[in-house]
Amino acid sequence: MEKDLQLFVPGENSSRSGFKNWLRQLFWVDKLSNVTGLVILLLISAGLGALIAYKGIFAVAIILILMIVPIVVYSIVVFPQFGMVVLLVLAYLLFFIMKIGIDFPMGTLMDGIQGLLILGFFIHQKRNPNWKIFSGPISTMILIWIVYNFVEVANPVTESRLAWVYTIRSVAIVMLTYFVFMYQIKTVKQIRFLLKMWIVLAVFAALYAFKQEFIGFSAAEEEWLYSDPNIQNLLFIAGHWRKFSIFSDPVAFSYNMVVSSVLCIALITFVKQIWKKILLALFVVLFFTAMLFSGTRGAYVLLPAAMVLFVILRFNRQVLIGTAIAGVGILFLILVPTSNSNIVRFQTAFKPNEDISFQARKNNQKRIQPYILSHPMGGGLGATGAWGQRFAPNSYLANFPPDSGYVRVAVELGWIGLGIFCFLMFFILREGINNYFTIRDKELKTYCMAMLLIVFAYNIGNYPQEALVQFPSNIYFYLVVAIINVTKIIDDKQEEKPTRLAATAQYP
């Protein structure tokens, strides 16, 4: 049994014994087995007791952190499967934890976890080198994109280098997690587990949105909503609060519900048990309904758009019937007379010419076009948005609302950066389509299709909104891209095994 476990996690055997020895040293097991050790233990206990008596709960928190943090840090570096789960779960719960009143630099914590995973990646690469993951068009374009963002620090028209410093973290470090996922995800079981975890977290987010809609916001959430008039202007529309669930804002929430719906729809085509199909269908309804609470019009068109590609990829009678039924349902929602504010806002998403905010965005984009054309490297990373307002408040771009991921790239990184970014997305979609049609294993083929549809939805959603800059989308997007390639790698290995066995039997 021990051998099977060692084979299941290759390269980890020595680290397991090292981990045990490290724990023994950490807790002074050898040193506490004599009288001197017991005296030291009593003195430490008395000191900790006095510290708690004088400092109270603050001292307890510090002691627990000092005890737990070293173990967690070691585990993230040495056991990357654990680290990936921690990262993906925290990416979902980050703003939920912050909004319940816990005052802690959670963004820095996420950067630290990503940094530890990258450190573990290089350590594992030294033991079991596999630099092939850096080959291929997606890896090449990601590296080019990261290098270009670092070159932006020398952009001569940049108003603030500090804005670049604060923004590069969300570009370079986050994108490097793609290589971590590529290297560490090696089996179908791992993919299966990660996708199940994704669905469970999405269900929690959807149910929490229902709680906000029908029960109300928590005291901490209400305090946050009324803390800034700008928040109220954005989230309180036509006498109704837009819901954000456990996320930073309604946009991040609604986009997450869309891609989670797409994932469940793709999985319905693979699972055989009727109860699983029904459960996944119920999840789709749950996610879609929760998405309506967000009031994000840019998200409403993403699911129908993703279904167009889905029909093209899986062109058969059952898919046509299913999408036709779904299409009739969406058409009914678009045309039905109603006084429900959520449905009314949904209907306006399909009538953009009647939408004042859509027209305002078009005018802003037209106004900024001459600037983009005259600045091939843009105005500098972080020139717009919060960092631009903080570090260069009097600059031309500080108060420009990009309202689009593509527009932000064009404004901050110029038309050169926009071209690199578009090529990156093109190669991701191209690899996804090629892998889907060449993968032979049905389960892996389904996972690849689901990831391809999610990338497609994110790219469409990146035009009306900024789809890839906020947690959890920024982390999960590169997980999705990695799985597109990993499914192909696993499938090729599965096909090689029978060939090698046959060759061995023929030539003993």
What pLDDT, in 10s, does the model give residues 382-409?
Answer: 888 777 888 888 888 888 888 888 999 9
pLDDT at position 432, please?
A: 95
Asked, for residue 479, whether it belongs to a domain, the answer is yes
pLDDT at position 61, please?
A: 61
Quote the CA–CA distance of 178 and 367 in Å, as a whole number: 35
Quote the CA–CA distance of 311 and 304 in Å, as a whole number: 11
Asked, for residue 196, whether it belongs to a domain, the answer is yes
Q: What is the mean pLDDT of residues 267-292?
A: 94
Asked, for residue 278, whether it belongs to a domain, the answer is yes
pLDDT at position 7, please?
A: 38
Answer whether residue 289 shows pLDDT above 70: yes
Q: What is the mean pLDDT of residues 7-25?
A: 51
Give residue 362's domain range.
131-492
Asked, for residue 76, whether it belongs to a domain, the answer is no
Q: How confident is the model at residue 35 (pLDDT cuts 50, 70, 90)?
A: low
Answer whether residue 424 shows pLDDT above 90: yes
In which residue are the tokens 């009538």 written? 351
Answer whether residue 259 shows pLDDT above 80: yes
pLDDT at position 195, please?
A: 96
Residue 197 in contact with residue 89, Cβ under 8 Å?
A: yes
The torsion angles phi and psi of 391, rounded to 5 degrees, stand at -100, -20
Q: Chain-wide mean pLDDT for the chain?
A: 82
Domain count, the chain: 1
Asked, for residue 456, whether it belongs to a domain, the answer is yes
Asked, for residue 55, whether it belongs to a domain, the answer is no
Q: Report which listed range, 144-148, 366-370, 469-473, is most confident.
A: 144-148
The proportion of the chain whose per-residue pLDDT surpasses 90, expressed as a percent, equals 39
Answer whether residue 453 shows pLDDT above 90: yes
Asked, for residue 83, whether it belongs to a domain, the answer is no
The better pLDDT of the pair 465, 89 is held by: 89
Asked, for residue 393, whether it belongs to a domain, the answer is yes
Judged by average pLDDT, the poorest of 211-225, 282-296, 417-431, 491-505 is 491-505
Q: What is the mean pLDDT of residues 192-219?
A: 95
Answer whether residue 307 shows pLDDT above 60: yes
pLDDT at position 126, please?
A: 84
Q: What is the mean pLDDT of residues 271-292?
A: 94
Annotate 186-245 with DSSP letters as a single string: -SHHHHHHHHHHHHHHHHHHHHHHHHHHHT---HHHHHHHTS-HHHHHHHEETTEEPP-T
Long-range Cβ contacts of 437-445 (<8 Å, 24+ apart): 438/488, 439/487, 439/488, 439/491, 440/491, 440/494, 440/495, 441/188, 441/490, 441/491, 441/494, 442/270, 443/188, 443/270, 444/188, 444/191, 444/487, 444/488, 444/490, 444/491, 445/487, 445/491
pLDDT at position 411, please?
A: 92
150-190 per-position pLDDT tens digit: 999 888 888 888 888 888 887 878 899 999 999 999 999 99
